[in-house]
């Protein structure tokens, strides 16, 4: 992964578990768990939890404060830190998290 592709503070948030996709009705439309909380491109005022497929269709394609965040569980954050952030960012996981809360 290139440094420019690493999630920066404000582009992700930590959740205890991934929520269901708001576009899933559980019957006709069944989705994987949501991976994004994002502004919808439908009217630019609504936000929704979206699975990857619905984010590709209805998300605005930009992550950050005011646009959307990638949803990560604690386990996913730890994996992301070890495999993707640590090689480029020498701050501790706590420092990265604290910085994301300040933005």
Quote the percentage of the chain above a pLDDT of 70. Answer: 70
Residue bearing the bigger pLDDT, 41 or 88: 41
pLDDT in tens, 27-62: 667 788 999 999 998 876 789 999 999 999 999 989
Sheet holding 47-50, edge to edge: 12-14, 68-72, 36-39, 47-50
Report the alpha-carbon distance of residue 20 to residue 51 in Å, rounded. Answer: 8
Neighbours of 96 (CB within 10 A): 19
Q: Specify the higher pLDDT residue, 81 or 95.
A: 95
Least confident of 10-14, 49-53, 82-86: 82-86
Q: Mean pLDDT over residues 71-96, rounded? A: 70
Domain residue ranges in the chain = 20-102
Report the DSSP beta bridge partners of residue 49. Answer: 37
This prediction has a pTM of: 0.69
How confident is the model at residue 10, as a pLDDT? 83
């Amino acid at each position: 992964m290139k440094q420019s592709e690493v999630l920066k503070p404000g582009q992700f948030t930590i959740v205890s578990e991934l929520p269901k996709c708001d576009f899933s009705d559980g019957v006709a439309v069944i989705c994987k768990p949501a991976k994004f909380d994002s502004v919808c491109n439908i009217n630019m005022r609504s936000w929704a939890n979206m699975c990857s497929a619905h984010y590709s269709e209805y998300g605005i394609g930009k992550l950050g404060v005011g646009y959307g965040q990638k949803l990560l569980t604690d386990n996913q954050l730890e994996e992301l830190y070890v495999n993707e952030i640590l090689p480029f960012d020498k701050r501790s996981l706590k420092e990265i998290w604290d910085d994301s809360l300040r933005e």
